[in-house]
Amino acid sequence: MFPKDFLFGASMAGFQVEMGYASEDLDPNTDWFVWVREPENLMTGAVSGHLPEYGVGYWNNYPVLHQLAVDFGMNALRTNIEWSRIFPNPTFEVHVSVENQDGITRVVITHEDLEKLENLANKNAVEHYRKILKDMKDRGLKVILNLSHFTLPIWIHDPIAVHRGQQTEKTGWVNDQTIVEFSKFAAYVAWKFDDLVDIYSTMNEPNVVSQLGYIMSRSGFPPSYFSYEMYMKSLLNQVQAHARAYDCIKSLSKKPVGVIYSSSVYESVNQDREIEENATYLMNFLFLDAIVFGKVLFQERSDLKNRADFIGINYYTRTVIDRVSPINLGPFSLEWTILDGYGYNCPAGGMSRDSRPVSDFGWETYPEGLLKVLRSIYNRYKLPVMVSENGVADCRDWLRPYHLVGHLYATEKAIEEGTKVLGYLHWSIVDNYEWARGYHMRFGLAETDYHTKQFQPRPSMYIFREIVKNKSCERFCRYLKSPYDIWRI
């Protein structure tokens, strides 16, 4: 059984849902807005050619989406404040106190600093976000507010210049100054919105930002510039940015503050425990060890320690690996590679090499992995966890019912074993703009008609409502075995 206070809801991201209704909802001031219309990216197929301004239109039709959540039993929604909407222009001129001792160890934002930021902020955007969040609250929904979901203001990050190797100070998370500017943004958001927020997250999937931006440079994520130095620099700067944002929010709020992290379970075909542990540390634990234990690679930093009240876990599938000759990546080496036919590397809409159903995105259905990840992260950090994203790209809704039941069953089982799980947030409540893949991938419990901006609940959404109503997956446990044998432990 799920606890009475368990959070059942969905996650969204501003850039993926806000635009699409009218010219007034346009936000051209992010790196992603520029990136998805860059001619080179369009010509090479790095991006879909779809544009976010033809999307869900949440900026204007948010009441409809909020009521949809309520109608289907949800009691929480997660969204984010777009940094570029609040501060479309630089905030460099607001000088704040910064301590830098082998890293940015402290950023202090005073009330005077906040007043100066107020003078630079887009007041219309601030007021509109307050209306959106208040509408959530008025409908009885808990507000889980994230600060950064992939996008950066264009005055912080010029992805085209970085991609082309041009000289620029606008290098995003590679630039130490971004830590300071993000701290200002975090403090301002807490100052202006705290009365409407129940839970904060500083950022979504910082590991993905670094990995897809600087290592897997054919992913379509900005700036798609291969550099292991920039990969590590951007990741460690996001560690510091999270810690400093945590401090700034906590100076103004008593609400819980965490981070949302992309997690997978790393399994080898021949039970090679050494490479499984190495991959798990690099991909799942390195960032989290820093903000919980204050340990960053070979360094200990007390200013990073105990900077999380909970950990959000975004889980979609496993990663199957095999040993290879060491690949030197500067401060570390990889002795493993990701195998095709499993996890994220399967034929779209088919079956994996393990005879498991695969989504439209080519992602293997592996709900046991969520149970393993919840156990692993909770046992290591002893902090409450939340399933902050989990879902499947499935335009026909043929797989989603089984995928949904399997992963909610994994969550319920983790709770029964003693793992402190705060909630389950599905990705997503409606179809939306899937980054470099545009509108091709349909993740919604409800189908989005991008012409009329109307939402049609899919059959799986009714299953979600029944599970919420019963506080248990028991009624649907037969879905774990038939017609797909998706639960094998």
CB distance 73 to 424 below 8 Å: no
Query: So what's the pLDDT on residue 297?
Result: 85
Q: Minimal CA–CA distance to 259: which of 315, 203, 190?
A: 203
Helix (H, G, I), strand (E, B) or coil at 430: strand
pLDDT value for 21: 84
CA 326: distance to chain centroid?
A: 30
Task: Give residue 214's pLDDT.
Answer: 97
Beta strand ranges found along 16-151 (DSSP E): 76-80, 97-100, 104-108, 142-148
350-357 — which CB contacts under 8 Å span 24+ positions?
Answer: 355/485, 356/484, 356/485, 356/486, 357/399, 357/402, 357/484, 357/486
In terms of CATH, what superfamily is 7-480?
Answer: Glycosidases (3.20.20.80)
Is-cis flag, bond preceding 428, omega within 30?
Answer: yes
Cis peptide upstream of residue 457 (ω within 30 degrees of 0): no
Residue 389 among the catalytic residues? yes
The β-bridge partners of 296 are: 299
Pick the catalytic residue from 205, 267, 364, 368: 205
Check if 205 is active-site: yes
Residue type for position 65:
L
Q: Let me know: does 206 contact 238? Beta carbons within 8 Å.
A: yes
E strands present in 21-134? 76-80, 97-100, 104-108
Q: Which regions in the chain score pLDDT beneath 70?
A: none
Mean pLDDT taken over the chain = 97
The reported pLDDT for the residue numbered 328 is: 85
Q: What integer pLDDT is reported at residue 330 of this predicted model?
A: 76
Candidates 18, 53, 267, 389; catalytic one: 389
